[in-house]
Amino acid sequence: MSIGGWSRWAATVLASDPARNFRSGSVNAKGMRLVQTPAELRDFPDFVGGVMARWHVPGVAVAIARNGELVLCEGFGLRDVARGLPVTSRSLFAIGSATKAFTTMGLALLADEGKVDWDTPVRRYLPSFALHDPFASERITPRDLVTHRSGLPRHDALWYGGALSRAELVDRLRYLEPSKDFRAVWQYQNLMYMTAGYLTGELAGTTWEGFVQERIFDRLGMGGSNFSVTRSQQAEDAARPYREKDGQAEELPFRDLDAVGPAGSINSNAEDMVKWLLLHLNRGRHDGEAVVSEGQIAQMQAPQMVMPDPAKYAELSPASYGLGWFVQTYRGHSVVHHGGNIDGFSALVSLLPREKIGVVVLTNLNGVPVPEVVALQVYDRLLGLPEISWDDRFFAEQEERKQAGERGTEKAETDRVKGTHPSHDLDAYAGDYAHPGYGVAAVERRGDGLSLRFNAFEGPLRHLHYDVFDFTIDLFETRFTVSFATDVRGDIASFATPLEPTVPDVVFLRRPGAELTEPSFLSRFAGTFEVMGMRLTVALKGERTLQVSLPGQPDFELEPVKGTGFRLKGLSGFAIEFTIDETGAVVGALLTQPNGVFTARKTG
């Protein structure tokens, strides 16, 4: 049976026999018991089945708490379509950015112990920490890190699918350009949460994972939860990730988020997540004992930074951001929530603190609003409000986005300048290109075209016009332009691409071939040269760098260009090209300066 066909079949099965694909009966975990399902939720499986069918979602897990009790904890549909395995209340799902509240809870626990202060500069704890903006580097605090007001936009291409460690990512933040002034505007930012988790580990003398495991998971009895998809794939009861494609669910590979774990790597299940819900609904208490102070819970759930987006619907107020939570009102009721989306999974953790109602919705489909649809339906029912068809509203929004995307593709084709061609043979574009923050991108010759490889992304470069190509990331259905540029010699020297659309294009500079930095190659050019009666010395600095010295001038590092040509680092228009005789010996050099080209003779 096709996956699309299964989605339609699922709605019928769930409506006719709600217990068939659910885990039924009581849930016992450290004294927590599933009470009788309230009347408002008795036909809830029918609603969930209909939503799943419409959005082609393979599996969903839902947990609902009210007044300190678990009122529903069930699995719907399939966690593994190929093997026909059902979702249970213990099936593991990635919760994505709902992880962020665990990271702020970790800092809150340290704040209760006096080991960190929300408003003390991060540099007090991490002296080497730096951002592109020197002022922000000096003044940014833990509160700033977790309220999305660093001035940095997302810059997610730095980490997504990459192999850098957490410490390396923190070190590279200084090379990322901000799009706004520090503390001026709310801008969602995963890398700052990664930094907050790194800070937690440093202060606690462990790792972020170790601290959250001991102080939150173990304390609450969240025994099924973990921090890595590697662990999830080894579990017996784990959901597989999917995306919707052409009306069907297509399985995706698991995405490793270990390096940016504090921003979104937690995997959990409905039974565990309801304990997390109850901790917040009970103002920081678990089993009658305080896990974290009520004051810290109040800070987490209080508005810290106003979000600039206007409210689209009258029932939902404009949102603010707390400490790891979005804060707004729904039909006059205060709601605290955070969603999560990562390859193949969409999740939501949401609570009404005053009414002591909380909902967790976990799904194994990429980028769908099903968690929001289900949670808002629960609120309408338990609050006794007239039900709103959020499913219809969100579905209409999705159709608008699809149409906009199609129009964007059509416009890109219209804007294409026909009849043009690249300025060089395609072989001239091949090579490695580097950015100090983003790292290395490789352009390769493949068949009769070019391909680009960067982190986990790899695919063809399609020629648009002149020296501009485009690159499509299939998972996100996103196209990037890649515009190559030449140096003064006419050689391909760099490419620019809008990896972060809110700042100027990110520029990757061409790296010399590996052979041009080999000691055996560079050592040939070491020696003394005479030019216009002056002595010029070229020496090997370390093993892979040449350095040139002139009397009365500072030493300059030589950067390989190609062949035997080098440029003087930091000086525009200055270069050296060594000359070789028929025996392969270095006999001299041509020195290029803005005022001319001078010949040097090798003397030693």
Return averaged pLDDT per consecutive 10 residues of the chain, 604 residues in all: 23 27 36 72 94 96 95 96 96 98 98 98 98 97 98 95 94 97 97 98 98 98 96 95 89 94 98 97 96 98 94 94 98 97 96 98 96 98 96 92 77 84 96 95 95 92 95 77 91 94 95 85 93 91 88 88 88 89 92 90 92
Q: At which residue do the structure tokens 């907050």 appear? A: 196
Q: At which residue do the structure tokens 């951001």 appear? A: 321
Q: Give the residues across from 559 on adjacent strands.
A: 567
How many residues belong to the chain? 604
Residue 313, amino acid: Y
Q: What pLDDT is recorded for position 318? A: 95
* CA-atom Rg of the chain in angstroms: 29
- Which structure tokens are listed for 248? 């069907």
Q: What pLDDT is recorded for position 32? A: 60
Q: How many CA atoms lie within 13 A of 460 on its CB side?
A: 7
pLDDT digits (tens, 9 = 90+) for 70-106: 999 999 999 999 999 999 999 999 999 999 999 999 9
How far CA 115 is from CA of 118, 120, 148, in Å, comes to 10, 11, 22
Q: What pLDDT is recorded for position 34? A: 67
Q: How many CA atoms lie within 13 A of 485 on its CB side?
A: 12
If one counts every other C-beta atom within 10 angstroms of the C-beta of residue 290, the result is 13
3-state class of 478 per DSSP? strand
Q: What pLDDT is recorded for position 119? A: 98
Backbone angles phi, psi at 46, to 5 degrees: -60, -45
Give me the chain's average pLDDT, please. 90
Residues 54 and 8: their CA atoms lie apart, in Å, by: 8
Q: At what angle are helices 100-112 and 190-204 packed, to 10 degrees?
A: 40
Q: Report the b/e string of 383-419 with b at 16+ CB within 10 A.
A: eeeeebebbebbbeeeeeeeeeeeeeeeeeeeeeeee
Q: Give the residues across from 351 on adjacent strands.
A: 336, 358
Q: What pLDDT is recorded for position 41? A: 92
Q: What pLDDT is recorded for position 27? A: 41
Residues 149 and 152: their CA atoms lie apart, in Å, by: 8
Longest dimension (CA), the chain: 98
The pTM assigned to this predicted structure is 0.88
Residues 99 and 256: their CA atoms lie apart, in Å, by: 14
Residues 3 and 80: their CA atoms lie apart, in Å, by: 11
Q: What pLDDT is recorded for position 399? A: 87
Residue 333, amino acid: H
Q: Report the b/e string of 4-39 with b at 16+ CB within 10 A.
A: bebbeebbeebeeebeebbbeeebebeebebeeeee
Residues 106 and 126: their CA atoms lie apart, in Å, by: 17
- 554 backbone φψ class: left, alpha, beta (φ>0; ψ -120 to 50): beta
